[in-house]
Amino acid sequence: MLINALLALNFILITLHFYFYSSQKQKNYALSIFIRLLILGLFGYVILDRHETQTHLILVLISWVIFELIESLYQKKKASIS
């Protein structure tokens, strides 16, 4: 139950991060750091917990890939502006 709530929070924060990126054209560093820490915490929680790990691990990895894609889009846009 806790892992499901944390995964939902993670996806909400990633969506919020994408919204800030698309609307303000700048990076929210505090939110970015918090999302990274949450992903690492979720990954550790899934690895240390022994039940339903495949589904949760896949969701954590998908959220990490989505977050890194948003980060790379920001870096490319920042490089093209400079």
Does residue 59 lie within any of the structural domains? yes
Q: How many domains does the chain have?
A: 1
DSSP letter, residue 82: -
Q: Is residue 68 part of a domain?
A: yes
Count of positions (residues) in the chain:
82
Please determine, for residue 63, whether its predicted confidence score (pLDDT) is greater than 70.
Answer: yes
Whether the predicted pLDDT of 38 surpasses 90: yes
Spatial separation of the C-alpha atoms in residues 7 and 12, rounded to whole Å: 9
Q: According to the model, what pLDDT value does residue 52 have? A: 66
**53 located within any domain:** yes
Structural domain boundaries, residue 33: 2-77
Q: Does residue 81 register a pLDDT over 80?
A: no
In a domain, 82, yes or no: no
> How sure is the predictor about 8, in pLDDT bands with cuts at 50, 70 and 90?
very high
Predicted structure pTM score: 0.78
